[in-house]
């Protein structure tokens, strides 16, 4: 993850401090819910899982594992306690009204069905309506939304809705492509399979040539 470093040790949500409010989300935490990440509870659960699969949680190599896994979950789910709209508040006034695209934004999210990672890239485009935002903010929004238990379709839609509602753009296009570990390392075991989802709003939905333009910008001759 490049744009935002979620260090579990620095996160006020983890030590029991006040969590940032989560708003407008389909997730379990709700706006104003100050639920911190309960590390000792995760540790107890991990010990249980180890015992349940037939391991000895007290053998030397596993002694620190519950605490490590707890920190890992706090990091992977840090987005539950962050508001992505924080990153869309600051904007610049520009006359530019053509497509702005930041493509190949890498992300790692966790599939909510199996709690396994799905890893890929997001491509975010918008046509400004007088307001442009810093390019890094698009990647920051992806980071926050990805770091929650997710399904790819909802993640795609959440990012697009955030850009529509908080940027007031004339059009928003979000394309996400990812490899799901739950399909590659277990179950049907199809390494190499990719899931591609998209959400087109405003101009990108109503104007076929604008939509074709953004797909050309994203994929060029690749597809
Ligand atoms: N639509 C969608 N499905 C997902 C996503 N991530 C994982 N899944 C799917 O969620 C489904 C869960 O299916 P279940 O039948 O409840 O669980 P399962 O028995 O583990 O399914 P298999 O993976 O087929 O072994 C699977 O088909 C996964 O491929 C996602 O982001 N979007
Ligand atoms: Zn899964």
Q: Residue 168's domain is classified under what CATH number?
A: 3.30.1130.10
Q: What is the pLDDT of residue 179?
A: 98
User: Would you state the pLDDT for residue 33?
Assistant: 52
Of the residues 3, 55, 108, 114, only one is catalytic, namely 114
Establish whether 111 is an annotated binding residue: yes
Give the pLDDT of residue 36.
80
Q: Please list the ranges in the chain whose pLDDT falls under 50.
A: 1-13, 15-25, 29-32
List all residues 6 or more positions away from 174 whose beta carbon is below 8 Å from its beta carbon. 122, 123, 124, 125, 156, 159, 160, 163, 198, 199
Q: For 73-122, how does the pLDDT look when each residue is reduced to its tens digit (9 = 90+)?
A: 999 999 999 999 999 999 999 899 999 999 999 999 999 999 999 999 99
Residues 113 and 213 placed together within one structural domain of the fold: yes
- Total tally of structural domains belonging to the chain: 2
ipTM score assigned to the predicted complex: 0.94
The torsion angle over the Cα atoms of residues 59, 65, 67 and 69, rounded to 10 degrees, is: -150
Residues 58 and 111 in one domain: no
What is the Cα–Cα distance from 113 to 115, expressed in whole angstroms?
Answer: 6
Q: What is the pTM of this model?
A: 0.86
Are 61 and 115 part of one and the same domain?
no
Asked if 32 and 70 sit in the same domain, the reply is yes
Q: Is 123 known as a binding-site position?
A: no
Residue 73 CA to ligand 1 center (angstroms) comes to 21
> What separation in Å is there between the alpha carbon of 111 and the centre of ligand 2?
5
Helix (H), strand (E) at residue 76: helix 65-76
Rounded Cα distance between 91 and 12, Å, is 27
Calpha distance 210→126 (Å, rounded) = 10
- Predicted confidence at residue 76, as pLDDT, reads 97
Range of the domain at 154: 92-222
DSSP per position, 35-59: ----HHHHHHHHHHHHHHTT--TTS
Residue with CA at minimum distance from ligand 1 atom 17: 113
Geometric angle at alpha carbon 79, from 78 and 80, rounded to 5°: 90
Q: Are residues 155 and 204 in the same domain?
A: yes
Ion ligand 2 — residues with CB < 5 Å: 111, 113-114, 182
Domain membership of residue 169 (yes or no) is yes
Mutate to test the pocket of ligand 1, among 182, 184, 187, 196 (most ligand atoms within 8 A of CB): 182
For residues 70 and 117, state if they share a domain.
no
pLDDT value of position 223:
55
- Determine, yes or no, domain membership for 205: yes
Q: Whose C-alpha lies nearest to ligand 1, atom 25?
A: 187
Query: What is the full DSSP assignment across 15-40?
Result: TTSPPPPP-S-SSSS-TT------HH
What pLDDT does 118 receive?
98
């Amino acid at each position: 993850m490049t744009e935002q470093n979620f260090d579990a040790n620095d996160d006020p949500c983890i030590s029991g401090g006040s969590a940032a409010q989560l708003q407008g989300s389909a997730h379990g935490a709700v706006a104003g819910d100050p639920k911190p990440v309960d590390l000792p509870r995760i540790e107890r659960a991990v010990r249980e899982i180890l015992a349940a699969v037939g391991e000895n949680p007290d053998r030397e190599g596993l002694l620190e594992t519950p605490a490590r896994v707890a920190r890992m979950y706090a990091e992977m789910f840090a987005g539950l306690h962050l508001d992505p709209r924080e990153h869309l508040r600051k904007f610049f006034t520009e006359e530019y009204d053509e497509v702005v695209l930041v493509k190949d934004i890498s992300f790692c999210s966790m599939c909510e069905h199996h709690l396994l990672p799905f890893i890929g890239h997001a491509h975010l485009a918008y046509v400004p309506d007088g307001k442009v935002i810093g390019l890094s903010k698009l990647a920051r929004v992806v980071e926050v939304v990805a770091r929650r238990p997710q399904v790819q379709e909802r993640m795609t839609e959440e990012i697009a809705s955030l850009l529509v509602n908080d940027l007031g753009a004339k059009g928003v296009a979000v394309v996400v492509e990812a490899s799901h570990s739950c399909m590659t390392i277990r179950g049907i075991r199809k390494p190499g399979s990719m899931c591609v989802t998209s959400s087109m709003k405003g101009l990108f939905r109503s104007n076929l040539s604008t939509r074709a333009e953004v797909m050309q910008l994203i994929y060029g001759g690749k597809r």
